[in-house]
Amino acid sequence: MRKAIQKRMEAKKYVWEGAIPLQIHLHESQVTTLPPPPPALILAPRIGYLPLLVPLIKPHFSSTLPPGVDTIWFEYRGLPLKWYIPTGVLFDLLCAEPERPWNITVHFRGYPGNVLIPCDGEDSVKWSFINSLKEAAYIINGNCKNVMNMSQSDQLELWHSVMNGNLEAYLRVSSKLKLATIEDEYTSLCSSKSQQGSGETDFTGQVKTGRVPVRLYVWSISEDFDDWEDLSQVDSWEKISYINRPIEIHKEGKCFTLHDAMKSLLPEFFSDESLSDSKLARVDFEDAQKIPSEDVSSNKVVEDQGQNAYEHREACCISSSAEIKLIRIQGIEPKLEIPFSWLVNNLLNPDHFLHICVCVKVPQ
Amino acid sequence: MMDVFNWDGTVSAKDFRIGALSFAQKWESLNSAFPPWSWVPCPKHPWLASPEEEGYLSLENICISRPYEVDIDQNSQTDPGEEETSCSEKEDDIDDATLVQSNHHELHYCDFHIVYSYTFRVPVLYLRAYCSDGRPLLLDEIEKELPACSSKESPETKWAFITQEEHPYLKRPWYKLHPCGTSEFMKLLFLGGDTGQPKLEVVLELYLLSWFSAVGQVVGLRIPCKMLNDRR
């Protein structure tokens, strides 16, 4: 059992130590000196947020900035970067072919207030983080009391642990929040094998049914490609569908995999699997078709999931050539067969959400 | 639908849509002072042509500058015994609709959207305020017009806590009334109700109406008595 815990720490440590090398260029409109300053090279923690890097970046450019008040924002090839999305997620989402170092641009003026929520530095990021944590707590426990009732010092310690990438401190404070994790099916399997007859872990029936906080970022491409680099880059947030919806885990005697999780959030890409009627698999993209409803329990939450998948009155059946091309979590591309519980127990961000970047191909 | 004692105060997305359409219908027929709410369908993915059942209710271009007065149907009866918070004494004295220009030299307007939250499984009110020239209002300007939206978090107004967040569908910065306590007060509303008698059933069609009777007050949108009394 201890080995399982060590293994879990190992994966979490990798996640917390993960970093993206950034090459940050000052936008030309703000360069007032010749020659222009060289870009700043910074290793950004995956689980962190871009505005937290400002204390490292600003000194690098301060001598060349025009006078005035700073309103700092970042941009990648013209797309303003949403500062409340963790850095690693932005990278996984916007760099189909991982670019190392990642070349982004920093602005100190001209904040795009119509696209980005204002950011007043560390406080705004902390506030956004705590809010996400509250949301995660609500999803897991049905209320946010544990987060709301955190002492000031605990809240500060938790936030600092995230800023500093201190996993031990984070685990120490966050354990007080009693955010239940789901039983790790993989680990149970391993430990039950190594402890024959101890009866400690019973694989079947142990996984709790519960809601898992998930944030899904979906971008689409329209044709096949040889190289990720060939793809035209995302130039607008409107082209990305952001799905902030919990995943409900059902224990049905078999392992709940990543595949099952994706199917519950994006049933439109799995429509041909559950249907025996081959005719439906040929339905054109634009047509609406009724999908026969599955046996759904009366539980309201299950109803949501079931309804999402099968009970749309005007459900859109995407043709069978629509498919999921890529799934990235913490920079990893897990296989669809992996137990979802493993992902949840190891790849969560500090805000207790699983952030998943998905690329789908849809026919034009 | 289901009995209120076993209910946790939340609704499914599908039920939200049903409740929303029913609310909009009632509003249109019984609240002629205001423009109607409209249901705006939103595709789940930007590339999905067919409209999904997802969407939100929208009420836009409402003047929020104070003082302002609302056109109340002069025939509406207010039962003196009733103590609905939305039927204040003021309403009895008002005659015709007047949008009285306030002391400010410009009027402020607001767009309201009622959006379903998959996390909290309740409706959430999003709002966006601006001047007649389109300039967006800052939070302190909004709080001046809508003082109940104050950002101070206190036990009484906890559920009226306003934050700036990205609109889930429009992907632009909007303000939202935090939904943290909504499921609890929804359960209370149905348990206590206006007559003090718990309703035996959570009636879906009344869900949005009840929700709005509480939340709408925070942003100065009052529901006329006859709309609340209409139990059809």
Residue B127: φ, ψ to 5°:
-145, 160
Measured between CB atoms, which of B47, B51, B119 is closest to A362? B47
Considering the domain delimited by A123-179, tell me its CATH architecture: Orthogonal Bundle (1.10)
A180 touches chain B (CB under 8 A): no
pTM of the model: 0.80
The reply to whether residue B50 touches residue A288, judged by beta carbons under 8 angstroms, is: yes
Output the pLDDT for position B83: 37
Inform me whether the C-beta atom of residue B46 falls under 8 Å from chain A C-beta atoms. Answer: yes
Overall average pLDDT of the A308-328 stretch: 58
- What is the average per-residue pLDDT within A120-125? 93
Task: Centre a 10 Å sphere on the Cβ of residue A46 and count the other Cβ atoms it contains.
Answer: 22
CB contact under 8 A, B47 and A220: yes
Query: What's the CATH code, domain B7-64+106-228?
Result: 3.30.1460.50
> Do A210-271+314-361 and A123-179 fall under one CATH topology?
no
**For residues B119 and B121, what is the distance between their CA atoms, to the nearest angstrom?**
6
Using a CB–CB cutoff of 8 Å, tell me whether B155 touches chain A.
Answer: no
Residues A91 and A357: their CA atoms lie apart, in Å, by 10
CA A95 to chain centre: 15
Looking at per-residue pLDDT, the higher value among A294 and A168 belongs to A168
Read off the pLDDT of residues A131-162 as tens digits, 9 standing for 90 and up: 999 999 999 988 888 998 999 999 999 999 99
Please answer whether residues B57 and B23 qualify as being in contact, where contact means their C-beta atoms are separated by less than 8 angstroms: yes
Confidence of residue A230 (pLDDT cuts 50, 70, 90): low
Q: Domain residues of chain A, as ranges?
A: 18-117, 123-179, 210-271+314-361
Nearest CA in chain A to B13: A304
- According to the model, what pLDDT value does residue B2 have? 58
For chain A, the average pLDDT equals 80
Residue in this structure with the two tokens 């009285």, named with its chain if needed: B100
CATH no., domain A210-271+314-361: 3.10.20.90
- Does A218 touch chain B if contact means CB atoms closer than 8 Å? yes
Query: Using alpha carbons only, what angle is made at residue A294 by residues A291 and A300, rounded to the nearest 5 degrees?
Result: 110
Which one, of B229, B212, B192, B228, lies nearest residue B16 by Cα? B212
pLDDT at A195 over 60: no
DSSP annotation of A254 reads: S
Residue B141 has a pLDDT of 84
**Mean pLDDT, consecutive 10-residue segments, chain B of 232 residues?**
72 90 89 88 75 84 69 41 40 46 68 94 93 87 76 48 87 87 81 58 78 84 74 57
Which residues of chain A make contact with B124, given a CB cutoff of 8 A? none
The strand pair at A214-221 and B38-41 is best described as unpaired
The residues in B 103-142 lying below 8 A from A, measured between CB atoms, are 118-121, 136
Asked if B51 reaches chain A (Cβ–Cβ under 8 Å), the answer is yes
Q: In CATH, what class is A18-117? A: alpha beta
How far is the CA of A123 from the CAs of A42, A50, A163, A203, in angstroms?
21, 13, 12, 44
Determine contact: A237 vs chain B, CB below 8 A. yes
pLDDT at B195: 56
Q: Which amino acid is at A260?
A: D
Nearest to B91 by CA among B27, B104, B144, B82: B82
Residues of B in contact with A82 (CB under 8 A): 166
Contact B185, B159 (CB under 8 A): yes
Query: In this predicted model, what pLDDT tens digit does every residue of B108-166 receive, in sequence order?
Result: 899 999 999 999 999 999 999 999 888 888 888 888 887 776 655 444 444 457 888 89
Integer Cα distance of B212 and B206 in angstroms: 10
Residues 2-41 of A with CB under 8 A from B: none
Nearest to B43 by CA among B32, B31, B55, B33: B55
The angle subtended at Cα B194 by Cα B35 and Cα B186, nearest 5°, is 75
**A88-111 burial code (b ≥16 CB/10 A, e <16):** bbbbbbbbbeebeebebbbbbeeb
* Cβ atoms of B56 and B128 closer than 8 Å: no
Closest to A87 measured CA to CA, from A326, A341, A357, A327: A357
Contact criterion met (CB < 8 Å) for B168 and A244: yes
> Is B117 buried (19+), middle (13-18) or exposed (0-12) by CB count in 10 A?
buried
Q: Compute the distance between CA of residue A109 and CA of residue A178 in angstroms, rounded to an integer.
A: 42
- Distance (Å, whole) CA B55 – CA B48: 14
**C-alpha torsion A181→A186→A192→A195, nearest 10:** -90
Residues 6+ apart with CB under 8 A from A80: A73, A74, A112, A115, A116
Rounded to 5 degrees, what angle do the CA atoms A302, A306, A309 make?
Answer: 145
